[in-house]
Amino acid sequence: MKLSKDNLQKIYEGKTKDVYQYSDDKILLYTKDETTGWWKNDSLGNRYFEEDPGGNEVGPAVAGMGQKNLISSDYYFKKFVEAGIPTHYISCDIDENLMLVKLGKVLGQGLECIIRFYAMGSLLRRFPGEYTEGQPLNDFFETTLKSDADNDPPITKEELVSKEMITESQYDNMRKICHDAATVIQRDLKEANLTLVDIKFEVGITHGEIVLIDEVSAGVMRVAKGDVSTAHILNEDQLAEILVARATSL
């Protein structure tokens, strides 16, 4: 489907995507080349950027990254539709870096849902000594509030329900949807001898139904090549290339 953002009103400018009003019940997402992670200083005081799917800082643009991420989003959203997992996806125009989606609203003030198959990243920093790096996890699910200023603080099911940001049944449905989607991706990557370490989803509501929204790309997942205990964690550009190859070869 040929899409264009020309003459459309930009309603939101994000770190890796801009949002345009397409119609009364649809919006257009424009994917950019920026990456996310954390700016850090090494022991000599030199500033460098560390890619991290959980990061809130914008890193250097990587030419073509927006298009690569859109290709993987298109690939996985179609797989979710085939698996009966509800999403906001309608169609994509890969050449223009555009994805047409259903208009909806976020849950609460905006939630991120994380499925962790192995202990890595922020989990180790938050619970030092509780987990070992690469430790397998059993059905680990957590939610965080979307707040760059507070580094996306974790929030429990009980807190979400008590603050009336979400109902208990909505939470349970959200968890199942995210787990089902993560399992689809985990199985797909396994075919390429890749291991899904963890993944971050965003959810919203369209027509009263909880759905997966935003993107499903290299920028929202951590993936290892081979066994996690001895694995090399792919950076965003490496993973994006692999996802594009899978999407365009099948």
Res. 1 pLDDT band, cuts 50 70 90 = confident
- For 207: left if phi > 0, alpha if psi spans -120 to 50, otherwise beta; the answer is left
The structure tokens listed for 189 are 């990557």
The whole-number pLDDT of residue 250 equals: 62
What integer pLDDT is reported at residue 59 of this predicted model? Answer: 78
- The three-state secondary structure class of 85 is coil
Q: What predicted TM-score, i.e. pTM, was given to this entire model?
A: 0.89
Q: Which residue type does 104 have?
A: G
pLDDT > 70: percent of the chain: 97
Beta partners for residue 143, in sequence order: 113, 155
48 near 57, Cβ under 8 Å? no
**What is the four-CA torsion angle of 104, 108, 110, 114, rounded to 10 degrees?**
-110
Mapped to the 3 state alphabet, what secondary structure does 94-123 carry? Answer: HHHCEEEEECCEECCCCEEEEEEEECCCHH
Give the per-residue pLDDT at 78.
97
Question: What are the residues whose beta carbons fall under 8 Å from the beta carbon of 17, sequence distance 6 or more?
Answer: 29, 30, 31, 32, 214, 215
Report the pLDDT value the prediction gives residue 35, as an integer from 0 to 100: 78
